[in-house]
Each structure stands twice: as structure tokens, then as C-alpha cells.
């Protein structure tokens, strides 16, 4: 039987007793797990900006600068952050990694679904103009 050491209780247990790769089922319900959960709730912004730095290489200040430059609005549709359910997304060129601006989730998804392909976007515009 395979055994693994739990990251939280430090006990070696059967792999069947694990909730995740690093946490046994028992520790999932213990205080250590709850503390982690509480910490994540209290530090949502820190986690968010850590992810921005890791994913796009920008700091909190750089994000806030873009936000101020765009007056808190999506660079494509112009909707303000206060009208949206989630924060503005960082849009970047997938080939070069260059950051283009901040977009609402819908505009960011649309651009991604169109593969950032200008020919497809132009074809869609022509299609819409027909009707």
C-alpha cells in the first residue's frame, strides 16, 4: 500500500486517506485548514496582486496606474469597474506578452475566443453590417 506524509499533521498515512496531494482527510477539517481558509479570505487582494505579478509580471502600482489611466473603464466597451461583477482583467498579447490594457471579463473572453485574429473580427463586423 502506498503511503504519503500529510503536510499538516506530519503523519504518514495511506494514500486512500488523503483529501488532496498534500492534505489528509482528517486535516481538511482541522483548525490548520480553517486558518488557511480564513487567511485566504482576508488576503484576497494580496493573492490577486501576487497572481498578477507571477502571471503578467506587473506590480500592484502598475495595475493601479493602468486603472487610473483608463479611468476605471474597460478599454473596449467602456463600462466602469463599478458596473461589473468582477475586477478588470489584464489583457496581453499572447505572442509577445506585452500588456495592452484592462478589459472587462466579457471583452477579454470575446477577444480570446476570437484568437485575437483581425480577419475574424473584421468578418464579424461585415456580418453584423449585413443585417
Span 43-130 CATH architecture: 3-Layer(aba) Sandwich (3.40)
pLDDT digit string (tens) for 57-93?
999 999 999 999 999 999 999 999 999 999 999 999 8
Tens digits of residue pLDDT in 16-65: 776 677 777 777 666 666 777 778 888 999 999 999 999 999 999 999 99
pLDDT of residue 7: 74
Q: What is the DSSP letter of 100?
A: E
pTM over 0.85: no
Q: Taking Cα atoms as reference points, which of 43, 101, 49 lies closest to residue 72?
A: 101
* Per-residue confidence (pLDDT) for residue 13, from 0 to 100: 78
Q: Domain segments of the chain: what residues?
A: 3-41, 43-130
Sign of CA dihedral 56, 62, 63, 65: negative
Per the CB < 8 A criterion, the answer to whether 35 and 28 are in contact is no
Amino acid at each position: 500500500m502506498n503511503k504519503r506524509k500529510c503536510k499538516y499533521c506530519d503523519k504518514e498515512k495511506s494514500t486512500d486517506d488523503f483529501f488532496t496531494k498534500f492534505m489528509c482527510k482528517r486535516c481538511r477539517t482541522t483548525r490548520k485548514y480553517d486558518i488557511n481558509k480564513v487567511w485566504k479570505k482576508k488576503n484576497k487582494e494580496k493573492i490577486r496582486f501576487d497572481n498578477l505579478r507571477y502571471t503578467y509580471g506587473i506590480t500592484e502600482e502598475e495595475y493601479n496606474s493602468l486603472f487610473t489611466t483608463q479611468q476605471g473603464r474597460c478599454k473596449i466597451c467602456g463600462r466602469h469597474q463599478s458596473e461589473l461583477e468582477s475586477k478588470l482583467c489584464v489583457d496581453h498579447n499572447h505572442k509577445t506578452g506585452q500588456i495592452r490594457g484592462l478589459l472587462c471579463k466579457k471583452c477579454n473572453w470575446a477577444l480570446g475566443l476570437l484568437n485575437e485574429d483581425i480577419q475574424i473580427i473584421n468578418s464579424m463586423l461585415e456580418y453584423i453590417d449585413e443585417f
